[in-house]
Structure 1
Amino acid sequence: MKLLGLHHVSILTGKAERNFQFYTKVLGLRLVKKTVNQDNTESYHLFYGDAKGSPGTEITFFDIPGLGHTYPGVGSISSTSLRVRDTNALHYWEERFKQFRIQHDSIEKRNNRDSLEFQDFEGTRLILVADNGEQGVRPGVPWGGSDVPVEHAILGLGPVTLTVAVPEKTISVLTEIMGFTKVGSYPPLAGDFPAIQVFATGEGGAGAEVHIETRPELPRVRAGRGSVHHVAFRVPNEEEYEYWAERIATSGLMNSGKVERYYFKALYFREPNHILFELSTDTPGFDVDEPIETLGETLALPPFLEPRRKEIEEKLRPLDLDI
């Protein structure tokens, strides 16, 4: 059984309102679920994705007001990629970033793909990558509800980069336990550092890759606002989820055991360089409790939290989003 690719990436934000403005009004993503952190219901959890909230398109944020600065380093998910249709889209985004005064680099080749690196207002390192007809995991459905033309819209997640001091144990988990295959390598864009190694699962392509950057000279990351909390990988259904839960349980890796998130079933574990991985099912999806037409418009709670709605809403800070 193979993992299908990336499911979602979850990041920390200190300012949910500005986060919403950036990811919907600047990047043109759809808010597909406004809910709470199920492990701390006094905190919001916002999910952005494609028109349907498809697995593999979601970038999510835990809202933690007052969160401190991030100090980058090893043991981190140091960049998250977002897919667009082609290089023409990258040129559109280059001009849009200038218009909104978004910090960005120039268009460059990265693993033989045209790419455009930029940062959000909290310093989260993001990279747009152009599909240009590449085969592999299918892209998502472009969201037509923003002023970004659909032909240039963000279509889902691309590769994540893991920055580690000692790559061998992380690679062992990816290949021997999770079924990834090494598919190549490429030189870093700057500096005399080891080649970045590329691993893929499922049908491959941008939506199924993990890149390993080796940087033994760096200190350990100190997470804060803009840090990536974890990356999740796609399990197609509950039957295969049971297989993976057993596989991780017998691997010797410390793990959460099976976790019911309602919108998907999850399982969490840390690989040897302390990066948090999650396995998440594609089913049932974000439209299990809201029509696709109105995703993200109200505070959604899973059934096991619904009896506590009044208590939860009273403890949540007001969140004024211009939806």
Structure 2
Amino acid sequence: MVAFQSGIHHLSAIVQDAQRTMDFYEGILGLRLVKKTVNFDDPSVYHLYFGDKVGTPGTILTFFPVQAPFGRIGRGQVERILFQIPPDSSSYWLEYLQTQAVPVEQTEYGIWLTDCDGLLLGLIEEESRAAQYWNASTTEERIAITGFYGAILDSKDPEHTGAILEALGFQVNEDDKNVMKYQGSAEIGAHIWINKNELKRGLAGAGTIHHIAFRTPNETDHSLWKDRLTQMGMNSTEVKDRQYFKSIYFHEPGGILFEIASDTPGFLIDEEIDTLGINLKLPKWLETKREQIEADLPILKRGV
């Protein structure tokens, strides 16, 4: 059995504009750009990683900025990314987001908001000290986002998606009229909700979430996970080297692309903590193409 801290490792989304995304997530939400690299499968496209001070697993939100038409959020996708905020900070965030002209509303679950590309986000109060505060954040530590609370899934097959979550270490926590709630053991990113309402089929594109990744301690665990997934009747990819973690991918029965990503080696293997996210970092196999890659990418300006 794999030793597993059941929780989200990261989420990855498709957006249209890299600068606009940076201005929103670093400039407004106060996250840190911890890694500026490229899509290893298409080096003409940035892959931007945002998180806490060091990119702790459970705080990492990544983006592929591409010139793609907008998609449609629906069945077979992650519907909404849920961040956690400190207790008693909701009133601040409501007022602050309104001053930033961010679409926002108070719901029974927490604060619902929409980013600059239409991605659905949420802020839910939760006590946590697992994330590391970034001192240059645009938000003060007492109210700053402390990683993921979790995510809401729109499954084509909620029952079987739930079974996969249970295999990943999550347990049913609550069942209400709108969502089935699962909870894992991690301190951050441990809440996965499955939407029980009938929705249209999702369409990939800008403003949608590409995949959700779950944590495993290290890369040696992947052979065990591949065997387990095979036993459950699912095919997974070969192990992919993502430089800062290693991963396998599979489509679960509800149509959502799941990833299992290792906590190690992390984002400090090629940069010092004070300079994370400043320079374009490339894996060794792309270094010979650096000049052309840099010429093809837009220049990003940081506001912090």
Q: Of 113, 116, 126, which aligns to 2:111?
A: 116
Matched, 1:154 2:173: no
Q: Quote the Cα distance in structure 1 between the aligned partners of 2:184 and 2:169.
A: 7
Q: Quote the Cα distance in structure 1 between the aligned partners of 2:48 and 2:217.
A: 23
1:4, 1:236 within 8 Å by CA — same for their partners in 2? Answer: no
Show the counterpart of 1:183. Answer: 173
Q: Of 221, 238, 243, which aligns to 1:262?
A: 243
Q: How does the TM-score come out when normalised to structure 1?
A: 0.88
2:58, 2:188 within 8 Å by CA — same for their partners in 1? Answer: no
The count of aligned residue pairs is 301
Return the letter of the residue paired with 2:164: V
Q: Quote the Cα distance in structure 1 between the aligned partners of 2:80 and 2:235.
A: 25
Q: Of 103, 121, 124, which aligns to 1:126?
A: 121
Deviations 1:114-173 (A, max 9, x none): x21101111111001111x37xxx531122213311111111011111112431121122
Q: Quote the Cα distance in structure 2 between the aligned partners of 1:317 and 1:207.
A: 32
RMSD between aligned residues: 1.7
Three-state SS of the structure 1 residue aligned to 2:94 is helix
Deviations 1:215-234 (A, max 9, x none): 33x22111221100000011
Three-state SS of the structure 1 residue aligned to 2:123 is strand
Q: Quote the Cα distance in structure 2 between the aligned partners of 1:206 and 1:81.
A: 11
Q: Of 36, 40, 43, which aligns to 1:41?
A: 43
Alignment of 1:247-258 (within 5 A): 247-258=228-239
Matched, 1:231 2:177: no
1:47, 1:61 within 8 Å by CA — same for their partners in 2? Answer: yes
Three-state SS of the structure 1 residue aligned to 2:142 is helix
Q: Quote the Cα distance in structure 1 between the aligned partners of 2:76 and 2:56.
A: 28
Return the letter of the residue paired with 2:262: T
Q: Quote the Cα distance in structure 2 between the aligned partners of 1:38 and 1:246.
A: 26
1:74, 1:215 within 8 Å by CA — same for their partners in 2? Answer: no
Matched, 1:145 2:144: no
Percent of aligned pairs sharing the same letter: 35
Return the letter of the residue paired with 1:173: I
Q: Quote the Cα distance in structure 2 between the aligned partners of 1:224 and 1:242.
A: 32
Cα gap change, 1:152 to 1:312, in 2 (>3 Å): same
Q: Quote the Cα distance in structure 2 between the aligned partners of 1:139 and 1:226.
A: 28
Show the counterpart of 1:77. Answer: 78
Q: How does the TM-score come out when normalised to structure 2?
A: 0.93
Matched, 1:212 2:194: yes
Cα gap change, 1:4 to 1:166, in 2 (>3 Å): closer
1:249, 1:257 within 8 Å by CA — same for their partners in 2? Answer: no
Three-state SS of the structure 2 residue aligned to 1:183 is strand
Structure 2: give runs of 5+ residues left out of the alignment.
none
1:235, 1:282 within 8 Å by CA — same for their partners in 2? Answer: yes
Three-state SS of the structure 1 residue aligned to 2:185 is coil
Three-state SS of the structure 1 residue aligned to 2:139 is coil
2:169, 2:184 within 8 Å by CA — same for their partners in 1? Answer: yes
Show the counterpart of 1:191. Answer: none
Cα gap change, 1:206 to 1:57, in 2 (>3 Å): closer
Show the counterpart of 1:55. Answer: 57
Show the counterpart of 1:200. Answer: 183
Return the letter of the residue paired with 1:166: D
Deviations 1:210-252 (A, max 9, x none): 1111233x22111221100000011112333332233224432
Deviations 1:10-61 (A, max 9, x none): 0101011110000111101100000000111111000000011111101110
Return the letter of the residue paired with 1:81: L
1:169, 1:273 within 8 Å by CA — same for their partners in 2? Answer: yes
Cα gap change, 1:242 to 1:202, in 2 (>3 Å): farther
Q: Quote the Cα distance in structure 1 between the aligned partners of 2:174 and 2:75.
A: 22
Show the counterpart of 2:96. Answer: 96
Structure 1: give runs of 5+ residues left out of the alignment.
189-195
Q: Quote the Cα distance in structure 1 between the aligned partners of 2:243 and 2:230.
A: 21
Matched, 1:169 2:177: no
Deviations 1:58-112 (A, max 9, x none): 11100102x212223211100001111112x211111111111110002x432xx
Q: Quote the Cα distance in structure 1 between the aligned partners of 2:118 and 2:148.
A: 18
Return the letter of the residue paired with 2:26: T
